[in-house]
Copies of this chain bind each other. A is one copy, B any other.
Amino acid sequence: MKKVQPRVPSGFHEFNPAEQIILEQLKNQICRSFESFGFGPVETPAAELKEVILAKGHIDSKQIYTISRLPGEQDLSAALEDLAHSLDEGRLEESLQNLPLKQNPDRHAPDAIGSKLLNHIQELVKRSQTDMALHFDLTMPVARFVTNHKASLVFPFRRYQMQKVWRGERPQDSRFREFYQCDIDVIGRGSLDTLFDAEIPSIIYRTFQQMKIGAFIIRISNTKILEEYLRSAGIQDDRIIKVKSVLDDLEKVGIESTMSKLSEVAGISFDQSRSVIAFLTDDTSSSDEMLEKVKNLKISDRFQKGVEELSEVIRGVRMFGVPEEFFRIDMRIARGLDYYTGTIYETVLVDYPGIGSICSGGRYDDLASHFGDEKFPGVGISIGLTRLFKRLLLAGLIKTKASTVAPVLVTVLDLRCMNQYIRVANDLRMIGINTEMYLKVESLGKQLRYANRKGFQVAIVAGEMELARGVIAVKDLIVGNGIEIPIDVAAETIKKILGAVSDRE
């Protein structure tokens, strides 16, 4: 039999069992936090129609994966091979004559053979392709979902969505081609109050507080302020998006390098770009001082509007109970994406700035505009979970424990006692304790080695003699000692022992 190397595609990643256990806990924690604010689950298909995914037009379509049919692909390559052979042997004309073409070329082509050939290939290509592409984020799908189901949804609509997305990144950039995004959005019909923009940082705050990954800061800004400021610095409208993506890299590449890049991309002088950067990277002013500073700049009505929104959001963030040390106005955040129209957020770990933003988002007022005339303004955030999890693991901020979800292993020493082993296991499960049974009679040493390698906390050990006395031994696998307990109260006693084990950790 021909052997195939069992490996995953380049740019794709899978976690080991111990990591996956922690990742699932993290996913659960995030969902529960979102739900505590009234966000409900939504799941959309992995595939969207190409026309839907491309509706917005100016997204970066280079990274989009489409879906094809394997039999169609196989037919196409076989046909191309066949045609090449026929050509080599000088019987291309004959081969093409015999093709069952759906649609005969009605072109008055000087070269009827070439025309048949192209028609044939076009048909085969079409049959191999589908009308679908894999979603590359969860923002486009939610815009589609909301306009799709607007008649039955109740607005403002709060949903969370935790799904994989796919992007054809170059693997040498060490980015994932498949990763989880966890998004929340509140979407209004017609309008959506700024209070919703102010609630979001309180959700970010509660969610990351519970994760216990150290100090973090939610940076808040407003895209109207940034855009109008750039405009007032002499930057043309058609360069703003490029300028924003240069600013997004500011922390990665440093101030000096950003200045030269900015003056080049923005078409402004180096001195002008120096003053732009100085304004954006003001680290010394408090949020209130920043607000005062921008209030006094009379740049434009839209700038003024942005300043008012930002003041309102900051007032609201305080009201929603986010402590001062967890947020600040930060003008350097740009969110290169062109769909934000107001408030924007980023969140960074104070002690691990290199990890970058762990949670970003903002307000968008016309995301669904390519699906209809009605306005569905929304505000939301996204956590790039796979990347975040990887980095928290690397930084030691999240640690794996065991590669089993069960704390208890019931060893099996004597097949004649199976009924009692099974009884203990089922009693434990009934009171919510995950329990695995070692379903093979082997030496106790071998069973305990298995238990230790997988990271069980306790092992239940009992032979015919113990069971005859109505007792079992509970072996604490971390400390190494063991006690005998009556089988009748085994489950409750083990529950107490596990409580003590986890307190000790």
Binding site for B on A (CB under 8 A): 1-9, 12-17, 20-21, 23-24, 35-52, 55, 61-62, 64-71, 73, 76-77, 80, 83-84, 87-88, 90, 92, 107, 109-111, 113-115, 117-118, 121-122, 125, 129-134, 143-145, 147-149, 152-154, 156, 158-159, 164, 166, 168, 178, 193, 195-196, 199, 206, 319-321, 368-373, 403-406, 409, 418-419, 422, 426, 429, 432-437, 439-440, 450, 453-454
Contact = CB atoms under 8 A, between A and B. Distances in A.
B133 A8 contact: no
17 contacts: A4-B371, A7-B49, A7-B52, A17-B40, A23-B41, A38-B405, A45-B178, A46-B164, A61-B71, A114-B114, A154-B453, A156-B439, A195-B440, A199-B437, A206-B429, A320-B422, A321-B422
Contacts of A436: 37-38, 158
A454 B152 CA distance: 11
B148 A8 contact: yes
Secondary structure call for the A interface: mixed
A96 B369 CA distance: 42
A48 B8 contact: yes
B9 A49 contact: yes
A46 B44 contact: no
B66 A154 contact: no
B117 A178 contact: no
A107 B62 CA distance: 34
Nearest to A108: B88
Nearest to A320: B422
B7 A40 contact: no
Given A4-B371, A43-B14, A80-B125, A429 B37 contact: yes
Nearest to A160: B405
Given A70-B65, A107-B88, A83 B52 contact: no
A9 B45 contact: yes
* Interchain residue pairs A-B with the least CB separation, the first 9: A38-B436, A64-B70, A12-B45, A38-B406, A4-B55, A195-B439, A6-B371, A6-B147, A36-B429
